[in-house]
A and B are shown apart, each in its own frame.
Chain A
Amino acid sequence: MNKSGKMTPREKSEMVWGWLFIAPTMIGLIILNIIPIFQTIYQSFFKTGDFGRGNIFVGGANYAKVFADAEVWQALINTLKYAVVEVPLSIIISLILAVFLNGKIKGKSAFRTIFFLPMVAAPAAIAMVWRWLYNSEFGLLNHILPGKTNWVSNPKIAIYSIAVIGIWSIIGYNMVLFLAGLQEVPKDYYEAASIDGATGIQQFLNITVPLVSPTIFFVMVTRIIAAMQVFDVIYMVIDNNNPALYKTQSLVCLFYKYSFQQSNKGYGATVVVVLLVVIMIFTVLQMIGQKKWVHYN
């Protein structure tokens, strides 16, 4: 063993090749993600001028304004509401679907394709189709259901209607990940369990769930991050006149409004830095929490 810290030529060459292989990803990440993050943080301390010129340093003024801004707090609540509905429901539904589609069913791959289809569609197109489904005057939903519900303009329910679109769009993708996880579960566990007289539900809760828990954890972390950044569906479905706008716009919607519609980039940057901090807190909490329930073999 080489403990002196010197590398053998073989180790050296492995290191060089290792770096070479990850270099494209690393360079991409640094240029497209990491540098912009710091630029955004930097920008949040400025009152920005037009076309990126004449920025004035204002210290923490933007942050003071954000914390005093009721609209930002409401947007944070809206974002959390969306995440709380979308993430658990999409995980549960897609896990159950994955279990069924992992079994012996006729036309399995046709079903898999159908559930995966929303992932292939452009989010803006999905939003437009749902917008018409939800339309209170001409929409299919109100046509079938009794009564007249303002699905996307009643401030009390609009955010949940939006979450339904989110769930519908994502279950296919989650399902594919769970299917991959389910392939890893050895069949003999189920055989042993059925000999002991365990029912299907018991098998699901005591064998399937613990054994795919690493996948569940991965899906949960990535989905929470994505759900906190929800924008396109809300932007497409809820327009300026909508009485539910205040109760549905997410933090990213506010960021878009300030940065691009009103070209107040400094304040927009501040809003998005707040979002970054919130997402980081959630992710750290999950990383700590995983020790309690995720089983890695």
Chain B
Amino acid sequence: MKTKRVVALALSAITAMSMVACGSNAAGGSASGDAAGTDAPQAMQGSVEGELTVSIWDENQRPGLQKIIDEWSAESGVKATIQVIGWDDYWTLLEAGASGGELPDVFWMHSNQAQKYMENDMLMDLTDKIEASDKIDLGNYYQGIVDLYQSGGKQYAVPKDIDTIALWYNKTMFDECGVDYPDDTWTWDTFADAAKKLTTDEHWGYAIAPSNNQDSFYNMVYSMGGEIISEDKKASGYDKPETQKAIQLCVDMVQDGSCPDLNTISESGADVLFESGKVAMVTQGSWMVAAFKDNEYTAANCDVAVLPKDATTGKRVSIYNGLGWAASANTKNPEAAWSLIEWLGSKEMQEKQAELGVTMSAYEGCSDLWVNCTDVFDLNGHMKMLDADLVFRPYSKYTTVWEDMQTEKLKEAWTGEKDVKTVCQEIADSMNQTLSEE
């Protein structure tokens, strides 16, 4: 009887342990780039009087932000706790909170969702407060991020950070194949040639999936003079020949074998293949620095350079995005919430954010110290992209609707089922339909 119990206990202990081990990497590479440290879903805390609840989705940023927020607490005497909820659950819970009037006091906003929250008066109107503030001047931040959090002439969030895309490469593989490291002379043609040379039985030259938009093909599209969505956000840019040329470049690379086929890339994402030494180059956002730094293989073998430019237009483009600090419209502590947002947006704290290696900052000229946050990689690859043509990540009110559709359709081009022109035309039609309903 006793042995039975011991066996049962041991078995359940093993199960429990294996569960813990699996829990941590569930969210691998989330599509729009915001790497999420996912834990089991938990409730999102609402506003409580006399204490601030701050909600974010990236565990990697918590330690740095906690330091900045602690300094604010010391000065203001108000306690503030950061709550991290993984990317997927974040939006489900935030929406539930918004519908039930139980939003956290201060939280991150993102371009996918901002429009919806602003139009429905879920966020605190910061316009007058910014006007009266001596710390915040919206002219100091990258314009695209400021505009993003504006609706009906009102400002609903203060820019937090900025990301850039750069070319990550595996030095060991470049050496083996006798290819020179990428530099600022590279064009997309050099890039495609190099990818071909870097393809062997062991690894591919480059990896891209149809959902790698902001971090991959959007950059090529805008660099070649195309666009994804028109500036007034009323029409799709997929019927433009320049856009189709960029998509063709990716599809050609998949077809000629310098990129893994769709089956492979759908089972292990571009970042996973890169981290396990299966591809020589990936284009990735600066939000991946923490992950690549923590991975022993990439830390030992890889580095980062600027993205290639286009030979015809001469443009080097980085599609950027930036989060904003927003407050709930019906927070119980409006004064404290604004005071914290003002603190987080101030020049000193934006500099501190970069210095602590949290992210590059949305305040222009405050990111220089970010380069030194690690000596494993030469982060100038990402930094210099700030001087390239910065194009804000294409978005509209219901971005996810057409982005999902775009991924779904591009798969047919990846597999070669349909040619690029047909697929792009289909995307344009469907996207125009969606945009007309917004």
A244 to B211 CA separation, bound complex (whole angstroms): 15
Chain B stretch 185-212: residues in CB contact (< 8 A) with chain A: 209-211
Residue of A with least CB distance to B415: A243
Residue of B with least CB distance to A135: B267
Residue of B with least CB distance to A107: B7
Find out whether the CB atom of B263 lies under 8 angstroms from the CB atom of A153.
yes
Find out whether the CB atom of A241 lies under 8 angstroms from the CB atom of B209.
yes
Minimum Cβ distance to chain B for residue A69 (Å): 13
Counting CB contacts under 8 A, is B255 at the interface?
Answer: no
Residue of B with least CB distance to A54: B120
Counting CB contacts under 8 A, is B138 at the interface?
Answer: no
Chain B stretch 232-268: residues in CB contact (< 8 A) with chain A: 262-268
A137 to B265 CA separation, bound complex (whole angstroms): 10
A235 to B98 CA separation, bound complex (whole angstroms): 25
Chain A stretch 111-150: residues in CB contact (< 8 A) with chain B: 113-114, 117, 120-122, 124-125, 128-129, 131, 134-138, 150
Minimum Cβ distance to chain B for residue A143 (Å): 14
Residue of A113, A150, A263 near B267 (CB, 8 A) is: A150
Residue of B with least CB distance to A112: B8
Find out whether the CB atom of A125 lies under 8 angstroms from the CB atom of B22.
yes
Chain B stretch 12-32: residues in CB contact (< 8 A) with chain A: 12, 15, 18-19, 22-23, 25-26, 31
Minimum Cβ distance to chain A for residue B268 (Å): 6
Report the count of interface residues on A (CB-CB < 8 A).
Answer: 41
- List, in ascending order, chain B residues with CB within 8 A of A131's CB: 267
Chain A stretch 69-123: residues in CB contact (< 8 A) with chain B: 109-110, 113-114, 117, 120-122
A244 to B18 CA separation, bound complex (whole angstroms): 29
User: What secondary structure prevails in chain B residues at the interface with A?
Assistant: helix
Residue of A with least CB distance to B122: A51
A284 to B150 CA separation, bound complex (whole angstroms): 54
Residue of B209, B401, B408 near A262 (CB, 8 A) is: B401
Counting CB contacts under 8 A, is A152 at the interface?
Answer: yes
Minimum Cβ distance to chain A for residue B404 (Å): 7
Residue of A with least CB distance to B403: A240
Find out whether the CB atom of A51 lies under 8 angstroms from the CB atom of B263.
no
- List, in ascending order, chain A residues with CB within 8 A of B400's CB: 261-262
Find out whether the CB atom of A113 lies under 8 angstroms from the CB atom of B278.
no
Chain A stretch 249-265: residues in CB contact (< 8 A) with chain B: 257, 260-264
Find out whether the CB atom of A257 lies under 8 angstroms from the CB atom of B19.
no
Find out whether the CB atom of A120 lies under 8 angstroms from the CB atom of B12.
yes
- List, in ascending order, chain A residues with CB within 8 A of B263's CB: 136, 150, 153-154, 243
Q: A243 and B401 in contact (CB under 8 A), knowing A137-B278, A138-B268?
A: no
Q: Mark A62-73, 1 if CB is under 8 A from B, else 0.
A: 000000000000
Find out whether the CB atom of A263 lies under 8 angstroms from the CB atom of B411.
no
Q: A136 and B267 in contact (CB under 8 A), knowing A240-B407, A243-B411, A260-B92?
A: yes
Minimum Cβ distance to chain A for residue B60 (Å): 20
Chain B stretch 282-341: residues in CB contact (< 8 A) with chain A: none
Find out whether the CB atom of A113 lies under 8 angstroms from the CB atom of B11.
yes
- List, in ascending order, chain B residues with CB within 8 A of A114's CB: 11
Residue of B with least CB distance to A136: B267
A233 to B98 CA separation, bound complex (whole angstroms): 29
Residue of A with least CB distance to B5: A109
A152 to B267 CA separation, bound complex (whole angstroms): 8
Find out whether the CB atom of A241 lies under 8 angstroms from the CB atom of B11.
no
- List, in ascending order, chain A residues with CB within 8 A of B119's CB: 50
- List, in ascending order, chain B residues with CB within 8 A of A236's CB: 26
Residue of B265, B276, B411 near A138 (CB, 8 A) is: B276
A109 to B267 CA separation, bound complex (whole angstroms): 37
- List, in ascending order, chain B residues with CB within 8 A of A257's CB: 404
A-B contact pairs, 25 of them (CB 8 A): A50-B120, A109-B4, A109-B7, A110-B4, A113-B11, A113-B12, A121-B19, A122-B23, A124-B26, A125-B22, A128-B26, A129-B18, A129-B22, A136-B267, A241-B210, A241-B211, A241-B265, A241-B269, A243-B411, A243-B414, A244-B266, A245-B408, A262-B398, A262-B400, A262-B401
Q: Which 3 A-B pairs have the closest CB atoms?
A: A242-B266, A153-B263, A125-B22
8 more CB-based (< 8 A) A-B contacts, given A138-B276, A239-B266: A50-B116, A51-B120, A136-B264, A153-B264, A153-B266, A239-B211, A241-B210, A243-B263
